[in-house]
Amino acid sequence: MDTSSPEPSLETGRSSPARSVLAFTIESREFALPLAPIVEITRYRVATPVPHIEPAIEGILPLRGRMMTLLDVRRYLSRPPRVAGSSAQVIVVESAGDLLGLVVDSVSRVLTTEAPAGPRSAPAGFSRPDLFEGVLRLDDAEILLLDLEALLRGLA
Amino acid sequence: MADEGGGSGDREGSLREFLPEAEEILDRLSDHLRELEAVFAAGRPCLEIVNTIFRDTHSLKGFAGLLDFPDIASLSHELEDLLSRLRLGGVLDRTVLDLVSDTVDALFEALRALRSRAPARGDLGSLRERLRRAAAIEPRPAGGLEGLDIPPAILAALTEFEERRLSDSHGRRRRLTLVRLQTDAQGLDGVLDETRRRMEEIGEVIAILPVADLPDGLLAFDLLVASDGSLRLEDCPPGLVQGVREIATRGATPPSGPRQPETAPEGGLEEMGSPSGLLRVAVARLDEILARAGELSMAVVSLEGTVRAVRERHADDHRVRELEPLVQAILKRLNGLQRGVIDARLVPLDQVFRRIGRVVARVARTGGKEADLHTLGADTEIDKSVMDALAPPLLHLTTNALDHGIETPDERERGGKPRRGRVVLSAFRRGPSVVIDVVDDGRGIGLEATRAAAEARGLIRPGQPITSDEAEELIFQPGFSTAARVSEVSGRGVGLDVVRRSLRRLKGSIEVRSVEGQGTTFTLTVPISLALVPAIIVRSMGQRFAIPVGSIKENLRLDGSRLRPGPGGEVYDHPDGPLRLFRLERLLTARGSRERTGQGRYAIVAGSGARRAGIIVDDFIGSQEVVVKPVGRWLRDSPGVAGATDLGEAGAALVLDPEALVAGANDGHVVS
């Protein structure tokens, strides 16, 4: 956990209570998800394909006696697929009793921040601006905060 | 929770203790009540069964009093009063019977209210008033026993009730006889039952009194029997009865017969019942044990894999070679443990059959129908949770049969049928499934009525003719109902579509066969246990799928020469008639991208009637019991997906619902 990282500044915004986010990378860009619904982080395993109209849904995997649905975040954000054989990690979130595994390149750090309410603009090269809640600006980096609720809604 | 110290915690504790026990007593009581109704309707003597009901009521009262449920205690007390008047010679008639029945209903309602923590419905005040008025009717006074040459020891052992029965019989100048039975402990129940049955054909068994001071291992009883004619040794079952002695009344000659029987204290017979050896366990506890055993098996399975890998690397180490059989032995025992826990969850279907019997009696009474319910195979065992989930659909089907199937007595007579209708619930085990038939001899599914109802609801085009197969399918459509009249019990709005959905949730199926004018049979097939569902594992699109055995009609090895192209798939020349075949990938994939043809050597046949169809797969891998897990909401509504299972090393596999799959093909979800 990287608690010594500098206080992030908000691009815009109303002030909200501090909250924690988990940062991860895709194509060496940093993204983040709220920490609360995350139940664990696992290594990537190949899932059993399932019929679904959303192509980013890779399939299902057993996880501790339950079934997890796996979502390829790269594909969902319309990014090119990972290089075959490159490592990946899975961020497991629990939502209304269901487990969803988000496939990312790697998990980088946990941050505590005053919640940003930045513009819902997709960064260059990404479709689906509705999936972003805003941008966290740190001294050394820029982190795109994903809106998990919007993401889940988009899947349903 | 009970230890939280607060009064409400204690209350929760006693509620948890009280409810299951009270429900059990009340279930028993209402069974006996049904028996009483039958005995009463047949005009046979009711005392025996009134006594039994009295005892049930008494236990309920005692139990409710003990755990402080005053409403139930006082209601059962008033019922007990009424019953005790009956025992002492009060008149049993339809009014009294209805009153008893209403009180039992009110007690059920009170328990339901306790369970759901909601106030009880219904007017207890007026029921209580009716009970009090009925109980206040004085029974006939008991006549004297003078002039009876009855051994004082026996007289002393009689209860007040038995004494009244004795004097009543004496007053009616019936013959009184003592019948002596002797047997060993093993034969006790059989001998006693057989003798009592025979005696009750001839007269009334007033009392059964154990005889004391016999050699070890031998038991003897005296039955005090009242009959209109003389009772002789020849009337008794041969070989069971040791002696018969008529009790002289005034002026009669002293009887000859066996030695004077001596009696044990009253109640001796009841104490002979051995302890039941039963223990009440919360289902959740068994589930937990089952889950632990399952986790353990998974762990051992991965251990097995590691052991295999180590063995390959150290093939000549004898200690490594010993590991594999050890792991196998552990797995085998673990499977035994899982089986054992699953078996511990099994309960006889009897419980739900009896509950249904009770409702049938009520529906028939209020609906002006005359019908008998017969049950077969009530001892068939099924998982507790399956039974609980099965009860509402079964109840629905049975009340449907009464409400819509069975005609009124007059109608039946006009149709040349017996006035009383018949509803049969029969259950039997077929492999890993239980098959339950709900059969009625009513009017059957009317083709024209079904067609008209379907047309009115827009399920078919106006004027479109339908076949009987289609009619049998249409009745399962949402919103379909031909009931002109809505009954109190079967209600409105809950149709067969809901029944079918419940069955699907249970990984089971429902089918109907009907002959117009002759009756309808619904056949329900459910797995015995949901913890482990027996399934066939197949391969298609290079991955594995599990298909519950219970929903498979037939597994076919396809003979290429019998295949020909058909609409949306292929048609197979099956001995039972042409069978439509669909590839699993076509049925399952929402996008055609994975469409890829494998060998397609096998087919799983599912559905019935016009919807019968085969699903082509590439290979059969084997059969295995699987634990069905829910899939996330993103897949829950995918047609044909019932859940998923963990196949261990082979990873997750979808559990399919073949009926829904072929139904989808029929409904045109699949376009060729």
Nearest Cα of chain A lies from the Cα of B289 at a distance, in angstroms, of 14
Report how far residue B106's alpha carbon sits from residue B111's, in angstroms, rounded to the nearest whole number: 9
d(CA B550, CA B309): 37
Concatenated DSSP letters of A20-68: EEEEEEETTEEEEEESTTEEEEEE--PPBP---S-TTEEEEEEETTEEE
Residue that is written with structure tokens 């889950």 in the block? B291
- Asked if residue A57 has pLDDT above 90, the reply is yes
Neighbouring-strand partners of residue A137: A9, A142
B542 min Cα distance to partner chain A (Å) = 10
Please state, rounded to an integer, the average pLDDT across all residues of chain A.
Answer: 81
Q: Residue A103: is it exposed, middle or buried by C-beta count within 10 angstroms (0-12/13-18/19+)?
A: buried
Choose among B589, B591, B646: nearest Cβ to A62.
B646
Q: What whole-number distance in Å separates Cα of residue B89 and Cα of residue B50?
A: 11
Q: Does domain B347-527 have CATH number 3.40.630.30?
A: no
At A92 the pLDDT is 95
Identify whether the C-beta of residue B107 lies closer than 8 Å to the C-beta of residue B61.
no
Residue B469: both structure tokens together: 């197969």
Q: Indicate the average pLDDT of chain B.
A: 78
- Tell me the ipTM for this assembly: 0.84
Q: Which residues of B touch A61 (CB under 8 A)?
A: 651-652
Q: With bands split at pLDDT 50, 70 and 90, how would you rate the model's confidence at A153?
A: confident
State percent of chain B over pLDDT 90.
6
Query: Chain A within 8 Å of B629 (Cβ-Cβ)?
Result: yes
Q: Which of A44, A45, A52, A60 should be substituted to probe chain B, the one whose Cβ sees the most B Cβ atoms within 10 Å?
A: A60
How does pLDDT run across B391-406, given as a tens digit for each residue?
A: 888 988 888 888 888 8
The alpha-carbon gap from B4 to the nearest alpha carbon of chain A, in Å, equals 29
- 8 Å CB contact of A60 and B295: no
| DSSP-assigned states of every residue in B566-617 | ETTEEEEEETTEEEEEEEHHHHH-SSGGG-------EEEEE--GGG-EEEEE
CATH assignment, A9-155: 2.40.50.180
End-to-end CA distance of chain A: 32
Nearest Cα residue to A68 out of A40, A87, A88? A40
Which pair of tokens denotes residue B79?
């019922």
Residues of B with Cβ-Cβ distance to A94 under 8 angstroms:
none
Report how far residue B176's alpha carbon sits from residue B247's, in angstroms, rounded to the nearest whole number. 5
Sign of the dihedral through C-alpha B300, B304, B309, B311 = positive
Which one, of B83, B89, B80, lies nearest residue B142 by Cα? B89
Element (H, E) at B103: helix B94-116
* Higher-confidence position of B2 and B148: B148
Element (H, E) at A93: strand A89-95
Question: For the range B646-649, what are the long-range contacts, defined as Cβ-Cβ under 8 Å and sequence gap of 24 or more?
Answer: B646/A62, B646/A65, B646/A67, B646/B298, B647/B537, B647/B544, B647/B546, B648/B298, B648/B301, B648/B302, B649/B301, B649/B302, B649/B305
Domain B533-666 has CATH 2.30.30.40: yes
> Do B634 and A52 make contact, defined as CB atoms within 8 angstroms?
yes
Contact state of A62 with B652 under an 8 Å Cβ cutoff = yes
The predicted pLDDT at position B522 comes to 93
Q: What is the pLDDT of residue A122?
A: 58
Which value, to the nearest 10 degrees, does the dihedral of the CA atoms of residues B262, B267, B269, B274 take? Answer: -140
Residue A105 DSSP one-character state? S
Q: Is the pLDDT of residue B251 over 50?
A: no
Tens of pLDDT, residues B594-649:
445 567 789 999 887 777 899 999 988 888 888 888 888 888 778 888 889 988 77
The beta strand positions in B404-490, using DSSP E, are 421-430, 433-440
Per-residue CA distances from B130 to A70, B16, B99, B136, B289 (Å)? 65, 31, 8, 10, 50
CATH number (1.10.150.20, 1.20.120.160, 2.30.110.10, 1.20.59.20) of B2-136 reads 1.20.120.160
Mean pLDDT within A91-97 = 90
pLDDT of residue A3: 43
- Measured between alpha carbons, how far is A137 from A145 in angstroms, rounded to an integer? 10
Contact residues, chain B, for A52 at CB < 8 Å: 590, 634-635, 638
For the cut 50, the answer to whether the pLDDT of residue B141 exceeds it is no
User: Quick one: tokens of B431?
Assistant: 């492999």
Q: How confident is the model at residue B426 (pLDDT cuts 50, 70, 90)?
A: very high
- Which among B649, B595, B593 is positioned nearest to B621, based on CA atoms? B649
Q: Which of B252-261, B275-284, B312-321, B596-605 has the lowest mean pLDDT?
A: B252-261
Question: Residue B421 above 80 pLDDT?
Answer: yes
The answer to whether A61 contacts B651, with C-beta atoms less than 8 Å apart, is yes
Return left, alpha or beta for A25; rule: phi > 0 is left, psi -120 to 50 is alpha, else beta: beta
Residue B127 reports pLDDT greater than 80: yes
Is the separation of the CB atoms in B327 and B307 below 8 Å?
yes
What are the sequence ranges of the domains in chain A? 9-155
pLDDT of A133 above 90: no
Look at the pTM and tell me if it is higher than 0.80.
no
Inter-residue contact B466 to B455 (CB < 8 Å): no
**Statement: residue B3 has pLDDT above 60:** no
Which residues have C-beta within 8 Å of that of residue B234, sequence separation ≥ 6? none
Q: Does domain B152-264 have CATH number 3.30.70?
A: yes
Least confident of B62-71, B179-188, B208-217, B612-621: B208-217
Q: What Rg, from alpha-carbon coordinates, does chain A have? A: 15
Q: Could you tell me which of B204, B33, B158, B173 has the C-alpha nearest to residue B104?
A: B33
**A102-106, B409-413, B608-612: lowest mean pLDDT where?**
B608-612
Instruction: Give the pLDDT score at B297.
Output: 76
Question: CA–CA separation, A127 vs B273, rounded Å?
Answer: 78
Q: For residue B247, how many other CB atoms are within 10 A of its CB?
A: 21
* Chain B residue numbers touching A60 (CB-CB < 8 A): 631-632, 635, 644, 652, 654
Contact A60 B632 (CB under 8 A): yes
CB proximity B299 to A under 8 Å: no
Taking residues B561-582, report their average pLDDT: 84
The secondary structure of residue B629, as a DSSP letter, is B
- Please tell me the distance from the alpha carbon of residue B360 to that of residue B362, in angstroms, as a whole number: 5
Domains B347-527 and B533-666 share a fold: no
CA nearest to B385, candidates B506, B524, B278: B506
DSSP state of B401: I
Establish how many alpha carbons lie within 13 A of residue B662's alpha carbon, considering only the half-sphere containing its beta carbon.
23
Average pLDDT over residues B194-214: 78
Contact partners, residue B427, CB within 8 Å, separation at least 6: B349, B353, B375, B376, B377, B378, B380, B434, B435, B436, B437
Mean pLDDT of A11-26: 71
Say what the pLDDT of residue B209 is.
Answer: 78
pLDDT exceeds cutoff 70 at B267: no
Best of B301, B538, B634 to disrupt the A interface (most A CBs within 10 Å) is B634
Q: What are the structure tokens assigned to B245, written together?
A: 């002695």
Q: Are B627 and B277 in contact (CB under 8 A)?
A: no
Q: Do B633 and A68 touch (CB under 8 A)?
A: no
Tell how strand B346-348 and strand A29-34 pair up: unpaired
